[in-house]
Structure 1
Amino acid sequence: MRTTRPRTDRIRIRTTSLVATVIAALAAVLLPVATVQAASAAGTVRHGLSRPDYSYADAVREAVWVETGRDDDGDGRTDRVAADIVRPREPAAAGRKVPVIMDASPYYSCCGRGNEGQLKTYDDQGRMVQAPLYYDNYFVPRGYAVVLVDLAGTNRSDGCVDVGGPSDIGSAKAVIDWLNGRAKGWTSRTGSRPASARWSTGDVGMIGKSWDGTIANGVAATGVRGLRTIVPISAISSWYDYYFQQGAALYGSGPDWLSDYVESPAARARCGAVQQRIVDGAPRSGDWTRFWSERDYTKDAGKVRASVFAVHGMQDLNVRTKHFGQWWSALAAHGVERKVWLSQTGHVDPFDFRRDAWVSALHRWFDHYLLGVRNGVEREPGADVERAPDRWTTDRSWPPAGTEPTRLNLRPGAVPGQGGLSTAPAVPGSTAAFTDTPQEWEEDWAAGADTPSDSRAVFTTGTLKRDLRLSGSGTVTVTASSSTTSAHLSAVLVDLGPDTVRDFLGAKEGIVDLATRSCWGESTEGDSACFRDTATDAADVTHTVVSRGWADLGHAASAWQGRPLVPGRAYTATVTLAATDHVVPAGHRLALIVAGTDGGMVEPPDTTPTVTLDLARSRALLPLVGGARGLAAAAPHAPAAQRVADVPPAPRRTATTVPTGR
């Protein structure tokens, strides 16, 4: 197992000695003008970075309750959401204003944030003592305010949780409006003393993981003025795709359970009507309803004014990369400035898998988009991709230039259910069949890819002579008939060959905790800047699932409403594969597995069908770097019949359905 060397006592200390002052003054004279900027709201900027010139211990800590313009909890008054603020005292005293880093979350009292599950804590005057995560410790000394918002219906906020809908998004947007003088704020939850944000420039950067990052996506999609950038980490872009994929219900409970999970006791007692609207609007049928349309941020990507720095684990089985891929494509279609990091982890924050590089990148990103520092971050490569544990590559854009959707046909093999995947012409009249087996899942199918089975059909390339890179989102279109009135489809891309990868199926989805801590910013007695170090959790594997997608065959004709299947009738469905970036190395094979229920990921249909594929009318469209020519160079010949081997089943895993974001 490969691990990173622990680093301890990494504390940022502000030097105030006379010697340091003299050195800084000399540097300002000797260095080129482009690398030194005058004092700003963030204090001194040197070498393109804001410096920790302000006292964290003396920072202003206050709470403001902002009106949302709604009364979702039905108590007869406008709902107010709580915003806990930590900001440097010195700029306000000098009449200077500071920008804001905001994390709006439902988790500040129920579940915690970050790898250590930190909660907000308060003093006897109701001021926040511990602000979860490192944003305040690191950025407040550098001239930023950090604002942590309790979403409506959670912690100290009024209102009701509506799981990514108008209440969730509106409560965070209202705080941005208040920071820009467009909404009313008060110094208490029920009082009449107004609070203003005269200390703020009104420029806001939203950040957060999981539900928090989802809120950043949703607020950006409103086009609210003042939101300059967002940093969504493992974030949802359409809530329908969190609970379903193309009509197939993903394993777990619905959004009504999630809202009840995070709501404060007071909200839970008053929000019965909202809860019922969630139940009514989100049936487990997989049908698309108005409820889901309200929570689809991709449709409003054209309203986004903010730049976007997205981060996602390519093996995230909680918030799957379908969310990142469709959001990225929608932003690209409207020319939104954007950057991405794609890791080999599951649902993990970059602070816990690439800490040094992450804090440095985030620092420069916020300095540029919130302080206007000319540090060139907008001209740097647009994508960082983790190729192997702790080994990263960069691309100017993502997907990289030369990536083309490439058609591969599904061809029969000498052994039933063991076919080929190539650009060779389809074979008229050829078929493959499988019987839905919910006891198995994608890891079982991949581990036994070379063993004939009635539970799935496998199509592989020959052994690759050169590396083959997939980058982006693909599709698999099948024409299929079912022996019963219902059927689900799973399409899984697999790299068949040995490798060492992050163990995303491990307890912490690719990382392990260490006994040491490292410090990022300044601390107080109640809020430490020191966080548990982590290292890579690696595993040796015989195969790697690269991408997956699911669909209900009964929703093939329309996403709006599923229909019972007519047994024996052929239906054509296109399954969208989750976005990925993976290099299948020379000596390996690329496999496409088509099956029924992906156990632990997708709930089974109400029947147990046998599904027959018409191979001549089925195909994969994959995002290959180099397109068809690249594929021809890597796999010049169609594969022969694959060998039969006895491969033990993979360990079973059930995916979580709660985007806890820890």
Structure 2
Amino acid sequence: MKWHRLIPVAAAALMAVMISPAGAQGAAAGPKESKPVYSYDDAIRESVWVDTRIDGDSDGKTDRVAVDIVRPREPAQQGRKIPVIMDASPYYACCGRGNESQKKTYDANGKPVQFPLYYDNYFVPRGYGFVAVDLAGTSRSDGCVDVGGRSDVQSAKAVVDWLNGRGKAYTTRTGGAPAKAGWTNGNTGMIGKSYDGTVANGVAATGVEGLKTIVPIGAISSWYDYYFAQGAPLYDSGPEWLSDYVESPEARERCKAVQQKLIDGAPRTGDLTRLWSERDHVPDADKVEASVFVVHGMQDLNVRTKHFGQWWDALADEGVDRKIWLSQTGHVDPFEFRRGDWVKTLHRWFDHELLGYDNGIDREPMADIERAPDQWSTDKVWPPRSTDATTVRPGKGAAPGVGTLGVKRAKPGATETFTDDPKLSETDWAAQIDRSTPSKAGFTTQPLTRDLRLSGSSKVTVTATPSTPTAHLSAVLVDLGPATIRDYADAGEGITTLLERTCWGPSTAGDSSCFKDAAAKTADVDYTVFSRGWADLGTYADPGKGRPLTPGKQYTITLDLAASDHVVPAGHRLALIVGGTDAGLIDPPSTTPTLGIDLHRTAAKLPFVGGDKAFARATAGSGAHTPSGALLDGVAEPRSLRPIPGGTP
């Protein structure tokens, strides 16, 4: 929904009750906030099965997906229609949602009892319907899971169509009476973390009418980039593992052919096949009509920050209305790291986007960014308008592999050499940044005299000579200096779950609104890795197609470093590290090459707020730094993750 198209709604006389935008158009003034005026105990709880109009399991019948609905009873009795908040997920039966892994539950007659999370408890009394969709092949739905493909997206898009009077639904999975959605005005907002948010991205990229906003939390924008980093494989598996993980037991039997297609279409070579192109939402940003509220952890090593960065940039190019929250956490929902502010902000967002209330959220800062645990700043526009890509270059230092970082280009013939060690990670490299070690080449500025902020995505162009026919490259940006950060490498990825609970709306016997609180889990460190990129050197000529390398031949490749927003404080140093396999974050190659780096032909383009002038000011007059060689302290090594875009289900 474009904000400039919004119409003020709701007459002042009806401020005390919920009212649909259609019934209030033309009013001079309207409410600013929906109020909890409807009974949650008396809410209508029902299930329908929506026809997706595709036959994913090839049984000769179009698939139906299960849709569980909870909505206030009073608006329909009063002849008024309401908007819908939807979470379409593959996890409702297999794994659960949220920090407490809640699953849907049903009574003896199959009627829904528990809806995971707080969306129902909080928003239904305020006049919203909540719809929880089981993706095809999961829980009570027909069809097959195709991991981001047409079936996944159509599972949710068909429901949006049905809510807007364009689709068909029935009261049972097979047969059953037709079910109409006459109780809703069709205005739909999709929300969800990870896989759920990824489906929201995919549905928005279809341009479906009636989808007014999406709130993707830690969501994928391109499934190729979930399983590969420019040809370098991740997770030691492909989408077939995830499909098998979430499918219902009966779907596993009927969906073997779909499973095989996932295997055949996603070879571990890292080549960009048709399967991956069909699961890339970024090129379809021009179709997006919904507004987008992005939430992502800047230390998310599951759904990595490249996903929100490339999606955000594409949406910006298309003029899509958008908002963003960036935390210091890993793969964590904002309900667990900023609960009160999050619920308040989400409430205002849905009121504005789905009810049309003029509450001013569209005139507030676009970005909220966590600078230190529980300390937030805002930006009117993100990245800030003064941000400009600035070229910085590595240079030779006094010891092998311990170099400099500045604007001056290294002399022709200047090189550094390292040997890939698949046992070592970015934390090992950063801990020994001032030591000559055989597994990495590190380059640092002198201590900064002013704060230096990087905002957005970076690129590093490396010219390398491998000793073997295959090789991987990693590049990371590091803030060298003491800080207290969220411990994103811990099992909680930056949070600790507490025993105390807070409640967010009314409860029933089978559906509590009370959830365990969480607090920041912090670590005191000497360095912070804040942006990363990986690639198979064999993709030097084409990021979608790998080629064998000729040992001893020089190749130039550009690595995309994931989006971030980080301030390197005065007194700290900024470092660029180039290495081979980043243990736990990409899979190692079949060989362990030695790589020579041509420093004269290697450079990074970094998004400094204030551009090259800001970098020049921050590095001007800084005193000489003598590497001590001491081992620095950071977080634990990144945990090797299974491919579960729901995080810890």
| TM bucket normalised to smaller | over 0.9
**What residue in structure 2 maps to residue 328 of structure 1?**
312
Amino acid at match of 1:524: T
**What residue in structure 2 maps to residue 429 of structure 1?**
413
Alpha-carbon distance between aligned partners in 2 of 1:425 and 1:591, rounded to the nearest angstrom = 16
Q: Indicate the SS of the match to 1:154.
A: coil
Alpha-carbon distance between aligned partners in 2 of 1:649 and 1:598, rounded to the nearest angstrom = 18
CA contact (8 A) 1:419 1:641 kept: no
Pair 1:660 & 2:649 matched:
no
Shift of 1:36: 5.3
Alpha-carbon distance between aligned partners in 2 of 1:583 and 1:74, rounded to the nearest angstrom = 53
How do 1:644-659 residues align onto structure 2 when only pairs under 5 Å count?
644-647=628-631, 651-656=636-641, 657-659=643-645
Alpha-carbon distance between aligned partners in 2 of 1:653 and 1:370, rounded to the nearest angstrom = 40
Shift of 1:39: 4.9
Report the more deviating stretch, 428-437 or 40-49.
40-49
Q: Deviations over 1:524-567 (max 9, x none)?
A: 00000000011111110110001000000001111232111001
Alpha-carbon distance between aligned partners in 1 of 2:290 and 2:581, rounded to the nearest angstrom = 39
Alpha-carbon distance between aligned partners in 1 of 2:57 and 2:460, rounded to the nearest angstrom = 45
Pair 1:153 & 2:137 matched:
yes
Amino acid at match of 1:347: H
CA contact (8 A) 2:12 2:31 kept: no
Pair 1:440 & 2:424 matched:
yes
Instruction: Note the aligned Cα RMSD (angstroms).
Output: 1.8
Alpha carbons of 1:88 and 1:341: their partners in 2 closer, same or farther (altered >3 Å)? same
**What residue in structure 2 maps to residue 630 of structure 1?**
614
**What residue in structure 2 maps to residue 606 of structure 1?**
590
CA contact (8 A) 2:526 2:632 kept: no
Q: Indicate the SS of the match to 2:465.
A: strand
Alpha-carbon distance between aligned partners in 1 of 2:91 and 2:537, rounded to the nearest angstrom = 37
**What residue in structure 1 maps to residue 390 of structure 2?**
406
Amino acid at match of 2:47: A
**What residue in structure 2 maps to residue 21 of structure 1?**
none
Alpha-carbon distance between aligned partners in 2 of 1:34 and 1:40, rounded to the nearest angstrom = 11
Alpha-carbon distance between aligned partners in 2 of 1:137 and 1:39, rounded to the nearest angstrom = 16
CA contact (8 A) 1:309 1:340 kept: yes
Q: Indicate the SS of the match to 2:226.
A: helix
Q: Indicate the SS of the match to 2:446.
A: coil
Q: How does the TM-score come out when normalised to structure 2?
A: 0.95
Q: Indicate the SS of the match to 1:438.
A: coil
Alpha carbons of 1:561 and 1:635: their partners in 2 closer, same or farther (altered >3 Å)? same
Alpha carbons of 1:626 and 1:450: their partners in 2 closer, same or farther (altered >3 Å)? same
Q: Deviations over 1:177-218 (max 9, x none)?
A: 011111110000002310000001001000000000000000
Pair 1:522 & 2:501 matched:
no
Alpha-carbon distance between aligned partners in 1 of 2:465 and 2:356, rounded to the nearest angstrom = 58
How do 1:45-60 residues align onto structure 2 when only pairs under 5 Å count?
48-60=32-44
Q: Indicate the SS of the match to 2:558.
A: strand
CA contact (8 A) 2:298 2:327 kept: yes
CA contact (8 A) 1:37 1:46 kept: no
Q: Indicate the SS of the match to 2:124.
A: helix
Q: Indicate the SS of the match to 1:50.
A: coil
Amino acid at match of 1:251: Y
Shift of 1:653: 3.2
CA contact (8 A) 2:47 2:69 kept: yes
**What residue in structure 2 maps to residue 278 of structure 1?**
262
Alpha-carbon distance between aligned partners in 2 of 1:94 and 1:36, rounded to the nearest angstrom = 16
Shift of 1:72: 1.3
**What residue in structure 2 maps to residue 556 of structure 1?**
540
CA contact (8 A) 2:17 2:37 kept: no
Pair 1:73 & 2:57 matched:
yes
Q: Deviations over 1:635-662 (max 9, x none)?
A: 1268857414131686433331311245
Report the more deviating stretch, 630-639 or 478-487.
630-639
Q: Deviations over 1:32-74 (max 9, x none)?
A: 9699587513999986110001000000000010001111112
Alpha-carbon distance between aligned partners in 1 of 2:181 and 2:89, rounded to the nearest angstrom = 21
Alpha-carbon distance between aligned partners in 2 of 1:127 and 1:506, rounded to the nearest angstrom = 39
Q: Deviations over 1:132-167 (max 9, x none)?
A: 000000000000000000000000000000000000
How do 1:483-494 residues align onto structure 2 when only pairs under 5 Å count?
483-494=467-478
CA contact (8 A) 1:452 1:644 kept: no
Alpha-carbon distance between aligned partners in 2 of 1:452 and 1:621, rounded to the nearest angstrom = 25
Q: Deviations over 1:254-276 (max 9, x none)?
A: 10000000000111110011001
Alpha-carbon distance between aligned partners in 2 of 1:284 and 1:639, rounded to the nearest angstrom = 48
Alpha carbons of 1:239 and 1:639: their partners in 2 closer, same or farther (altered >3 Å)? farther
Q: How does the TM-score come out when normalised to structure 1?
A: 0.93
**What residue in structure 2 maps to residue 532 of structure 1?**
516
**What residue in structure 2 maps to residue 23 of structure 1?**
none
Alpha-carbon distance between aligned partners in 2 of 1:412 and 1:602, rounded to the nearest angstrom = 28
Amino acid at match of 1:243: Y
Q: Indicate the SS of the match to 2:562.
A: coil
Alpha-carbon distance between aligned partners in 2 of 1:638 and 1:435, rounded to the nearest angstrom = 32
Alpha-carbon distance between aligned partners in 2 of 1:463 and 1:652, rounded to the nearest angstrom = 26
**What residue in structure 1 maps to residue 459 of structure 2?**
475
CA contact (8 A) 1:424 1:638 kept: no
Report the more deviating stretch, 601-610 or 209-218.
601-610
How do 1:170-189 residues align onto structure 2 when only pairs under 5 Å count?
170-189=154-173
Alpha-carbon distance between aligned partners in 2 of 1:365 and 1:52, rounded to the nearest angstrom = 16
Pair 1:583 & 2:562 matched:
no
Q: Indicate the SS of the match to 1:473.
A: strand
Pair 1:265 & 2:249 matched:
yes
Q: Count residues with an aligned counterpart.
A: 631
Report the more deviating stretch, 36-45 or 123-132.
36-45
Q: Indicate the SS of the match to 1:578.
A: strand
**What residue in structure 2 maps to residue 301 of structure 1?**
285
Q: Deviations over 1:495-551 (max 9, x none)?
A: 000000011111201111111100001100000000001111111011000100000
CA contact (8 A) 1:414 1:641 kept: no
Amino acid at match of 1:652: E
Q: Indicate the SS of the match to 1:577.
A: strand
**What residue in structure 2 maps to residue 110 of structure 1?**
94
CA contact (8 A) 1:421 1:638 kept: no
Report the more deviating stretch, 102-111 or 427-436.
427-436
Q: Indicate the SS of the match to 1:40.
A: coil
Q: Indicate the SS of the match to 2:397.
A: strand
CA contact (8 A) 1:231 1:310 kept: yes
Alpha-carbon distance between aligned partners in 1 of 2:534 and 2:622, rounded to the nearest angstrom = 27
Alpha carbons of 1:35 and 1:460: their partners in 2 closer, same or farther (altered >3 Å)? farther
CA contact (8 A) 2:146 2:243 kept: yes
Match of 2:480 among 492, 496, 506: 496
Q: Indicate the SS of the match to 2:442.
A: strand
Q: Indicate the SS of the match to 1:202.
A: strand
CA contact (8 A) 1:413 1:641 kept: no
Pair 1:568 & 2:547 matched:
no
**What residue in structure 2 maps to residue 120 of structure 1?**
104
Alpha carbons of 1:459 and 1:193: their partners in 2 closer, same or farther (altered >3 Å)? same
Alpha-carbon distance between aligned partners in 2 of 1:318 and 1:493, rounded to the nearest angstrom = 18
CA contact (8 A) 1:422 1:638 kept: no
Alpha-carbon distance between aligned partners in 1 of 2:469 and 2:241, rounded to the nearest angstrom = 29
Report the more deviating stretch, 46-55 or 323-332.
46-55
Q: Deviations over 1:214-259 (max 9, x none)?
A: 0000000000000000000000000000000111111332100000
**What residue in structure 2 maps to residue 389 of structure 1?**
373
Alpha-carbon distance between aligned partners in 1 of 2:358 and 2:62, rounded to the nearest angstrom = 42
Amino acid at match of 1:653: P
**What residue in structure 2 maps to residue 40 of structure 1?**
19
